[in-house]
Structure 1
Amino acid sequence: MQTFRTPLTALEDTFRRAPDSAAFKIPKLPLEPGKPCSEWTTVTYKTFRNDIRSQALDWSRILKTEGIAPGSVVTLWVRGWDYADVTLIYGVLRAGYVPQLVSFGVTSAEAIYEVAQSAQSRLLIADYTLTERLSGCPLPIKLYTPSEHPAGLQTPSQEECTYELPELEALVKDRQDTAFILLTSGSTSGKPKWVPYTWDWLDCKMPNLDLLLPPQADHGGQQVYAWLGTACHGGQFYGIIGSMKNGSCMVQPSTIPFSSDEFANMVAQCGVTTLIQFPPHYALHLKRARQDPKFLAILQKLDCTVLIGMLLDRDEMDWCLKQGIKLRSGFGSTECGTILTTLPDRPWVYTLADPSAVLWKPVEEESPTTSTAIQTTTASSSSSQNLYSLIVLSSSRDCPAPHLRSPIDGHYHMGDLFAEVEPGVYEPRGRADDWIKLANLALGRCDTKAIESAVLSVCRDLINACVVTGSLRPELVLFVEVDTPLSAEAEGELKREIIRRVEPVQAKMWTYEKIVRERQVRVVRNGVLPRTGVKGNIQRRKVEEMFKEELDEMYKSVVA
């Protein structure tokens, strides 16, 4: 039987090498109202390993009593925000079952039941706070209630427990067997999809984690990472595996996103060396750093800041580089993990981790008369560049499960567009659905991401966020968020100022891509625009749905 690298063998290796090293730092709760966390408790790798074993023994007993055989899928609907949830996840895996991870970000019980049944799950383990939402569940349910014990369970005595755990090597019966099942956020397709990770896929991905997560601190000691988000989603899922593999420490904040004050305490009290965050959350720290030299110094001294899920705005990246803040970013998805990583001196462009794993396919746009490659002439590029779609080949170990691949060619189409700015170096141009067509189909597509970046580059002091809409409409509309309500007069002044500022940066855009009229700017309060639950990205389609009546009325006066 061939032995594969797995998260559990990585943990075992670290435990044998450094059992007393810190694996996690857990916040001491409860907090004083209105104050950030300032104290953490250390969990060693020895304790972490034992707590996973405690969970494994207990759930082995429960599941076998229910007649559920090892190798079966078990759905876990938990927060994933804290240490106890991590021990539950890996405890179920250690017991020989396949954890299907569902976070609180998926709020529809019906959607969870659907993906659970699609994966042939045998049981739902649900956080006890979800009790009232579990009516009509087609699966047996076990409620999970963490106690003061870190793992939420007491280790059964030898007399009480007659169940033995399988050897680590025995967990991998076939390298194509499923080890974990994660869910996509559903922000693109409208509903979550289940994504199985095989043992072979995890074995392939584990070495690549070092491309994003530095395995050793610059000073030669242990790397200490800041917790990203729920362990049920790809980013934190990979972060924990990378931490276990490298013998690093993961610091859990009291809440996500955490304040700049709490992060300063995490650095001072826990020795955080690498910050892992989604760009919308990191932008809050940059806002503080621009005003607070002491906090700026904290960001400058970090070994690295790893940004995932999307790129930081270009002007923010330029500012970070000028200030000596070291940035990294990875590009990928829940389905196929990290595929590209950024260059150290240019964190806005990517190179491939494995060029043989992908195909760059020129994007073709069908028009009434001809088919031509989409080109961009936006402010983000000095000359026209053909766009390419990123496709993960079925022959690559990076390629996800067959049910996620194209039924036409058998490959995995990520739906993301890139321009090759120099040989082997790629700049993202958004997703295919970020390029929208107006009602006049003879016009080209509009690069909404480039327009939004251009607006933010010159209006960041006026607005907090923005999104461009207008799919199959006569013209584009820019929605902007501001902190406080504005009078009609003040709102009009804001619209005119935005139009005035963006005029120079729109110079290289097509006429139909420009924001030039007050009616094209809509002002809303901060937080009104719908966002994804994990990364905080504004959801363009939902904005169009939310303001449909208002837009319909406005477009009546517009000649297509």
Structure 2
Amino acid sequence: MTDLHTHLTVLRTAVNTHASAILFKLTLPTTPISYQEITYQSFLSSVSDSAIYWSNKLRLPTGTVVGLWLNGFLYSNYVHIFGISMAGYIPQLFSLRLPNPKIIRLLLQKSGAKAVIMDKSFEGVLDGHIAPTISELEEYILHQADSSPEDFCSSQSTSSDSHHSSSPSDSCPITPQIAQGIIYHTSGSTSGIPKIIPSSTSKLRGMVQKSHFSVTPGISTAIGSICHVAQMFLLLGGLQHRATIILPSAIPFPVAELKIMIREAGLQKLYLFSSFLSTFLRAAKEDKQLLGMLRGLECVMYSGLPLPEDDVKYGLREGIRLQNFYGSTECGGGMMSSPIGRPDCLVPYPVVDYRFTDKGELVVKKESVDCTPVELRDERGDYWTGDLFERLDEGWRFRGRDDDLMKMANGLCCEPRWVEEEVMRRCQDLVVACVVVGQGRRGPAVFVEVEREREGLRGTIVERLRDWMEERYLHERVTEQRFVVVVKKGELPRTETKGNVRRKAVEEQWKGVLDEMYGDC
């Protein structure tokens, strides 16, 4: 494996070896759906154009942190994230799932960011620069070339199609910089705010080394937002193996679009979070065409939550090539994957250095290429993930968390304890106990015990929480009455010793209620 260091060097190396290969297939809003193909060369040229644009626009010292608050699913988002790096800045990535400007400002202050670039939908919400579309970027580059030929290389070409003939590194009027890292955030709030996860050049190197083992050549789907680490990780792996990535119209996407991706775009590898895969597997039981298409894929890789055992058994029995993928934001994306067809056998990548405790908790040693920032490590310098595994054959089976952290349907996290404490703080005159559940669901549900039922109680609880909820990620919020369940005092299952409410038992006891509650979300 070539000693690649960052997302920029990976991209340049890929262009040197397969410039005309297709990197992206963009889903166009046409009827029927059609696709626009973007080559590796075209993407690098667009990135170079973006670097020129932001270097001229921002005029900040190299190494400055620049926030990007983006949709996360658009081709232009990929271009601007890479472009900010090429201009010498450090991108700090925010997705649409964190829509509160107050929290964005606070996280920008904590990182020392000097500028923020936003999606057009946030215009007027936060002071900052609006990210141009690819066509607007192209117009800017052409205008610069026409108006200042002495300052701009005349050979610079446009950036939205495959008509590039010159190397962007040769024609770019700025010197491409060495990427100095990418700043991510934990996908759940702790103490009311996500934690900043800086990514140094050494961390980027670890991501590149690990991602080499996660992807093989072929056409796959994007798993999620490029503002989250999972998609960046899979993109890095894909760049090293001449892979092609389909950017769907939305994530999750419907069965009908999946069929079109397979039939029209040549999809070979389906990457998605396990909750979304469960939806397709349920549909396949009634849709024989879909089942046949899933069988024909080279692999169906899932991540986030463990896939329910019944779904695993069904998929393997029907000949679907299931593959499991485990990772975390703190450790820079993927950490283990399974062989195709053996999803319960997770194996660490060869370049990492882990150990498992007696009870099976995964610990990342300080020497590992993906060990998280020192602030999150123990006194020895190791990082305790909180994820539990059991030995199985040559690999490991994921058994859940060693704490109360919940993984939601989109693979992001929610720490229910903070929600419970806020409910009790704001509603102590109304409720006597509270538990938050929703593992694998689209959002949390609040169960409260009361001395006596009161008219409008659920609405009162939601209203008292409203301003606090507005500062949370979207997948952490409870903003509708239907996600509040009121029961009598003593009705929630508890431990015999300390009398604590048993979260998992609540999930099991009220499963029917929860299924109905989330059915039309």
Q: TM-score, normalised by structure 1?
A: 0.68
For the pair 1:105 / 2:97, whether they are aligned, the reply is yes
Q: Which moved more, 1:184-193 or 1:546-555?
A: 546-555
1:344 corresponds, among 340, 343, 358, to 340
Task: State the 1:166 CA deviation.
Answer: 2.2
Matched, 1:357 2:371: no
| Of 372, 381, 390, the match for 2:362 | 390
1:344 partner amino acid: I
Counterparts of 1:409-428 in structure 2, within 5 Å, are 409-422=380-393, 425-428=395-398
Q: Is the 8 A contact 1:147 1:153 kept in 2?
A: no
Residue in 2 that maps onto 1:22 = 22
Structure 2, unmatched stretches of 5+, are 154-171, 408-415, 422-431, 442-461, 463-468, 500-521
1: CA distance, partners of 2:495 / 2:386: 32
Q: What letter corresponds to residue 398 of structure 1 in structure 2?
A: D
Query: Which residue in the other structure is 2:193 paired with?
Result: 191
Whether 1:166 and 2:175 are equivalent positions in the alignment is yes
Q: Which amino acid aligns with 2:24?
A: F
Alignment check: 8 A CA contact 1:339 1:354 kept: no
Q: CA deviation at 1:475?
A: 12
Which residue of structure 1 lines up, in the alignment, with residue 82 of structure 2? 90
Q: 1:64-114 CA distances to partner (integer Å, 9 max, x unpaired)?
A: 1xxx10111100001111101110110111111111111011122222112
Q: TM-score, normalised by structure 2?
A: 0.73
* Residue aligning to 2:305: 310
- Whole-Å separation in 2 of the counterparts to 1:117 and 1:247: 38
2:337 touches 2:349 (CA, 8 Å); kept in 1?
yes
Which whole-Å CA distance do the structure 1 matches of 2:198 and 2:242 have between them? 26
Q: Is the 8 A contact 1:63 1:69 kept in 2?
A: no
Residues 266 and 419 of structure 1: CA distance in aligned 2, closer, same or farther (over 3 Å) = same
CA 1:344 to 1:25, structure 2 compared with 1: closer, same or farther past 3 Å?
closer
Q: CA separation in 2, counterparts of 1:303 and 1:3?
A: 28
1:288-324, Cα deviation, whole Å (9 max, x unpaired): 2111111111111111111111221111011111111
Instruction: Judge conservation of contact 2:107–2:196 (CA < 8 Å) in 1.
Output: yes
Structure 1 segments unaligned to the other structure (5+ residues):
173-177, 217-222, 363-386, 436-447, 450-466, 483-527
- Root-mean-square deviation (Å): 4.1
Structure 2: distance between partners of 1:545 and 1:284 = 22
Q: How many residues align?
A: 430
AA at the equivalent of 2:85:
L
CA distance in 1, matches of 2:481, 2:390: 28
Query: 1:549, CA displacement in angstroms?
Result: 4.8
Partner in structure 2 of residue 438 of structure 1: none
Q: How far apart are the structure 2 equivalents of 1:316 and 1:537?
A: 27
Q: Residue 96 of structure 1 contacts residue 166 of structure 1 at CA under 8 Å; is this kept in 2?
A: no
Change in Cα spacing, 1:481 to 1:242, as seen in structure 2 (3 Å) is: closer
The 5-angstrom pairing of residues 354-503 of structure 1 reads 354=350, 357-362=353-358, 387-406=359-378, 408-422=379-393, 425-434=395-404
Q: Which residue of 1 aligns with 2:516?
A: none
The answer to whether structure 1 residue 61 and structure 2 residue 40 are counterparts is no
Q: Distance between the aligned counterparts of 1:481 and 1:339, measured in 2?
A: 21
Aligned 8 A contact 1:212 1:328 in 2: no
1:10 aligned counterpart, secondary structure: helix
Residue pair 2:53, 2:137 contacting (<8 A) in 1 also: no
CA separation of 1:129 and 1:476: change in aligned 2, threshold 3 A: closer
Residues 1:264 and 1:479: Cα distance change in structure 2 (over 3 Å): closer
1:179-215: per-residue Cα shift (whole Å, max 9, x none)? 111111115665311111122222222232243322x
Asked if 2 retains the 8 angstrom alpha-carbon contact of 1:76 and 1:126, the reply is yes
> Structure 1 pair 480/418, CA: closer, same or farther in 2 (3 Å)?
closer
Change (3 A) 1:293 1:399: same
On the 8 A contact 1:146/1:152 being kept in 2, the answer is no
In structure 2, what residue type is equivalent to 1:433?
D
The CA distance in 2 between the partners of 1:557 and 1:413, in whole Å, is 28
Q: Following TM superposition, by how much is the alpha carbon of 1:541 offset from its aligned partner in structure 2, in angstroms?
A: 11
Whether the 8 Å CA contact 2:97–2:475 is kept in 1: the answer is no
Match of 1:294 in 2: 289
Q: Counterpart of 2:61 in structure 1: which amino acid? A: A
CA contact (8 A) 1:212 1:329 kept: no
Q: Distance in 1 between matches of 2:206 and 2:440?
A: 42
8 Å CA contact 1:330, 1:342 repeated in 2: yes
Distance 1:540 1:389, change over 3 A: farther
Task: Say whether residues 1:180 and 2:182 are aligned partners.
Answer: yes
Percent of pairs with identical residues:
25
The 1-side partners of 2:255 and 2:38 are apart by 24
Aligned to 1:72: 64
Residues 210, 351 of structure 2: 8 Å contact kept: no
1:228 aligns with 2:237: no
* Conservation of the 8 A alpha-carbon contact between 1:26 and 1:83: yes
Matched-pair contact (CA < 8 Å) for 1:179–1:199: yes
Contact kept, 8 Å, 1:229 with 1:235, in 2: the verdict is yes
Residues 319-360 of structure 1, C-alpha deviations (whole Å, 9 max, x = no match):
111111111122120111322222434312322224961232
Kindly indicate whether the alpha-carbon contact (under 8 Å) linking 1:20 and 1:45 is maintained by their aligned counterparts in 2. yes
Q: Secondary structure at the match of 2:232?
A: helix
Aligned residue in 1 for 2:133: 146
SS of alignment partner, residue 278 of structure 2: helix
Q: Which moved more, 1:191-200 or 1:251-260?
A: 191-200
Is the contact between residue 91 and residue 182 of structure 2 (CA under 8 Å) also seen in structure 1? yes
Question: Which residue in 2 is equivalent to 1:373?
Answer: none
